[in-house]
Amino acid sequence: RQPAPSRGRRGLVVLKNLRREIPSGILGVLLFFLIILPIIFIVIAAFSTAVPRPGNAEVGSFTWANFGILGTPEGIQSIINSLIIGAGAGVLSLLIGALLAFIAARTDAPWKRFIYITGIAPMFLPALVGALAWSILASPTAGHLNLFLEAIGIGGTLNIYSYGGIIFVLGLYYAPYAFMLTYSSFSMMNADLEEAASVHGASLGRLFRTVTLPLSVPALAGAAILCFTLAMENFPVNAILGNPAGIETLPTYIYRLMAGDARPNAAAGIAIA
């Protein structure tokens, strides 16, 4: 039988365990106040007739009416717009990011370091700034690119205030996320599989379809889902480029309900739907 630890030794053990648990406890408290608590208030507002805010003594009653706004013509159109823009931006960002990642990781192209920097460069510029810049460059009335095209006699009008313009800007600025996810997958692939397929006579196209692409499908799928989600929830680009064209997405619709129509409960219903 082992002797019982002394009081001093027990105190050291408790102190050591306390030091180990304190960081986790602090992170748990921060997680609750910064993430969980706001979500709780949004959920309460979505199912209530009153808004839970400091100084508001009214509790409100339970209701499903806040979700009915999704069935209105404006709600349905905002959902459709968000799906179109999210899908388009997700595909475009995946094409740009995955292509640059493949060139940088799986080919012997020159300037591979420059290609890598190009793949992640848009991440260092906020999408808000990018949307403002493209609104100056490709505005249909006084955009610099349109003025340049008219000056050289090409004609044509670029309109950044459109579905295509929004998808283009979001695709550019979310391509780095696809690049980073797919670059790791491409760079960690076992080159022996491609060499074996090449030795057995597989062409470059067949090698890509049967070896490279199947190995990268998980990374490509994850990148597509991430870019689609980010484009769906983006507010500044949709607000700057969509509002002049009357294209309202779910984030801008929520903002209008909060700021203009003063319907925070309906906005909360859309947010958690």
Residue 211 corresponds to which amino acid?
V
β-pair partners for 48: 62
Q: Tell me, what's the pLDDT at 107?
A: 83
Contacts within 8 Å (CB) and 24+ apart, 219-222 = 219/181, 219/182, 219/184, 219/185, 219/186, 220/94, 220/98, 220/182, 220/185, 222/181
Q: What sign does the CA torsion over 68, 69, 72, 77 have?
A: negative
Residue with tokens 């420059």: 114
Q: Tell me, what's the pLDDT at 2?
A: 46
268 with 66: CB under 8 angstroms? yes
Number of alpha carbons in the 13 Å side-chain half-sphere of residue 31 = 6
Cβ atoms within 10 Å of 79's Cβ, excluding its own: 17
Q: For residues 21, 24, 26 and 31, what is the CA-based torsion angle, rounded to 10 degrees?
A: -160
pLDDT along the chain (273 residues), means of 10: 55 62 75 88 86 67 86 92 96 95 87 90 89 92 87 83 95 94 86 74 76 86 94 92 92 88 85 80
**Rounded distance between C-alpha atoms, residue 46 and residue 67, angstroms:** 8
| pTM given for the model | 0.83
